[in-house]
Amino acid sequence: MSQSAPAPRLSTLILLAALGILPINIFLPSLTGMAADFGVSYGVMGLSLAAYAAVSACLQIVMGPLSDRYGRRPVILWGTGIFIVATLGCIFARDVWTFLAFRMAQAAIAPTYAVALAVIRDTTDKEQAASRMGYVAMAWALAPMLGPSFGGLLDEAFGWRASFWFLAAAGIAVFALCWADLRETNDNRASTLAAQFRAYPELLGSVRFWAYALCMAFSVGAFYAFLAGAPLAACTAFEMSPAMLGLAMGSITGGFMLGSFLAGRFSSRVGLTTMLISGRLIACFGLLLGLGLHVSGIDHVFALFGPCMFVGLSNGLTMPSANAGAISVRPQLVGSAAGLAGALAVAGGAAMSSITGAVLDAENARYALLLVMLASATLALAAALYASHLERTLKPQ
C-alpha cells in the first residue's frame, strides 16, 4: 500500500470506471442507422463491437505492466487522452473503415478500469480495497445498463453522432478530473518494462492468483452465457417483445448493482473470502431454484429471469473481492495482475458465450441456458473455495 500519495476521491474512480465501460454499448440503438449512413451491411457495422472487445482484451494485458513500470497516473491520462482523440475521429469519419479504425483506438479507455482498481489497492489494504471496489463496480454495472437507453434518446434527437459527442465531452471532463485529483500512487515500479513483462511468469506461477482469477472468469462466464442465451430462451418460451426483453435482461444488472453495494458496505467487515464464497453460493442456489421450477412445470417468465437475478447479485458480491484478491498476490505487480485478471475475465465470458451459442436451440433453450450458467457458477464456486483454502494454509506469496 502506497503511503506517499493521497488516495483520489472515490467519485473520481467511479466516473473513470463508468467512462471505461460506457463506450461498449451506448451507441447500440444506432447501429442500423449507422450502417445505412455508411452504406454497409449490419454485419459489417457489428464489427465495431467485436473489434473493440478484441483490442480491449489485448490492452488489458499490456496496460497493467505499463502502469507498474511508468505509474498509474500517466497510463490513465494517456488512455483517456487517446480515447478523446479517437472519439472525435469516429465523429468525423466519412467511411466505415476509418470509423472502425478510430473505434478500435477508443478501446484505450477500457483498461483504465483495471488500473483504477490498482490505484485502490495502492492506497488501501486488501479488505478496504474490496469495499471501495464494490462501489466502483456499481458504476461499472450502471453505465452499460443506462447507456443504450440514453444513446437511443440522443440518436432520436440529434442523430447517431450525438452519442460520440457525449463520449468526447465525458472523456474531456474525466481527463480534467484525473489530472487534478489523481496523484501517482505506485511506489513499487519495475526497473524496466522488459523486466516487468519477464515478471509475468512469477504472477502466472501463483496458485492464489489463478484461484481468484478463475473465480472471476467463471463468474463473468455465467453472466455472458445469460446474455448469449436469454434472448433465444425468452423469444421461444415466452414470445417477449424486444422492449420487454430489454427490461427483463436488466434484472441481472440490477442484481449486480445490489451485490456491488452490499460488497461495498460489508466486505471490510466480513472478510474477503467469506464474501467470495457467499456470492458463489447465492449464484448456485438461484440457478438450482430456476431448474427446480422448470422441472416442476412452472414455466413463467419470472421463473427464468428471477433466478438469474441471483447471478447478478452474486457477481456483485464476488467481483470486488476476487479483484482485490488477485491483485494482492504480488504487491510489485498490482497493475499487471489487474490487467491479466481482467483479460482472463473477458476470455471466460467469451468462452461461455460461445458454448451457450453452440448448445442452445429453440427446443432446449429454457433449461439448457440455466444448465450452462450453473456449470460456470459451480466452477467459480470451486475456485472460490480453493482460494479460501489457500488463504488459510499458505503464507502470502
CATH number given to 10-198: 1.20.1250.20
When pLDDT is cut at 50, 70 and 90, the band that residue 272 belongs to is confident
351 pLDDT exceeds 70? yes
To the question of pTM greater than 0.75 for the whole model, the response is: no
Can you give the C-alpha Rg of the chain in angstroms?
21
- Given a contact cutoff of 8 angstroms between Cβ atoms, the answer to whether 214 and 343 are in contact is no
When pLDDT is cut at 50, 70 and 90, the band that residue 183 belongs to is confident
* Residue pLDDT, tens place only, 50-84: 678 778 878 877 877 787 777 888 999 999 999 99
Burial of 189 (0-12, 13-18, 19+ CB in 10 A): middle
Give the single-character DSSP code of 95: S
135 pLDDT exceeds 80? no
Q: How many CA atoms lie within 13 A of 201 on its CB side?
A: 3
Parse the chain into domains and list their residue ranges.
10-198, 200-392
Judged by average pLDDT, the poorest of 174-188, 269-283, 306-320 is: 174-188
Higher-pLDDT residue of 38 and 111 is 38
When pLDDT is cut at 50, 70 and 90, the band that residue 188 belongs to is low
Burial of 110 (0-12, 13-18, 19+ CB in 10 A): buried
Mean pLDDT of 376-389: 95
306 pLDDT exceeds 70? yes
222 pLDDT exceeds 70? yes
CATH topology for the 200-392 domain: Growth Hormone; Chain: A; (1.20.1250)
Model pLDDT, residue 373 = 94
Model pLDDT, residue 278 = 93
Fold match between domain 10-198 and domain 200-392: yes
Give the single-character DSSP code of 394: S
4 pLDDT exceeds 60? no
Cα 243 to Cα 186, 248, 250, 251: the distances in Å are 46, 9, 11, 13
Joined grid coordinates for residue 187:
511506489
Q: How many residues does the chain have?
A: 397
Judged by average pLDDT, the poorest of 238-242, 274-278, 368-372 is: 238-242
Q: Tell me the C-alpha distance between 178 and 183, whole Å.
A: 8
User: Of 1-5, 215-219, 391-395, where does the model show the most confidence?
Assistant: 215-219
92 pLDDT exceeds 80? yes
Model pLDDT, residue 282 = 95
